[in-house]
Structure 1
Amino acid sequence: MSKTIHVSKAPQFPLPFSHAVKAGDFVYVSGQVGVDPETLELAGETIEEQTARCIRNVELILQEAGLTLDHVIKANVHLSDGNLIPAFNEVYAQMFQAPYPTRTTVVSGIGKYLIEMDVIAYAPSKRS
């Protein structure tokens, strides 16, 4: 059985998707971008600013499910430019704790956003 998760404090887009779905012991969080949840304005023009906000948006959704970033086992990251990867990695390494989740990072055409990230979290335990 699955359950959709909607988070009033997370960014609200007029698009057909749920913030997350809990299926068994897993929580699948939809792609989040680096926007302020209240204004939907970009959190800044740099990859560092947008990455920090993007991860905080993921965190807001996980909190609604009773989880933290430490429950994330897989992250899928889309960046608008491959040259952003080093700066992205710095912020990512500060916000996620080792041992890090598995990750895929690709360069995608994602419009005005520098980053979009979706994650899969495992509810019963944190990474170790």
Structure 2
Amino acid sequence: MPKCRVFSIDHGLKEVVADGLYMKHMFGETISVAVVKFVETAGTDLPAKSHSHGEEASLQFTGACSVFEGAGEAGDHETIMEEGDALLIPADLMHYGSNRFGPAGVSMRLNVVTPARREYGAEDTVPYYPLADRVEKS
């Protein structure tokens, strides 16, 4: 029988980019949950990459961000998320983001996606994250 699982927000994050990006993720049968924590030290220079996936709900815990709809072109529509805001992104909408850091130098949010984003890789591993300078996993 399936059991409930606890997912702590700012504990046990995996280093994706030293002093720049920390993440963790968990999968249900049809949903994935991920914490993304950008740190200002190296996080300001991380390139964004336009991507799409299933429907996403995002909650901004710390700092702020802008979510852009499109492929990274001038004039892409911008939606601003302040600390405490939540956003729904429709399935298959190309989008990317830009962070603004809070007083502690952090921009952190919780993303819930359905269907599950299996490209992150197995739980308890360093998650794959679609940075522009990485090669897409197939």
For the criterion TM > 0.5, the same-fold answer is: no
Larger Rg: 1 or 2? 2
TM-score by length of 1: 0.40
Q: TM-score, normalised by structure 2?
A: 0.38
Structure with greater strand share of residues:
2
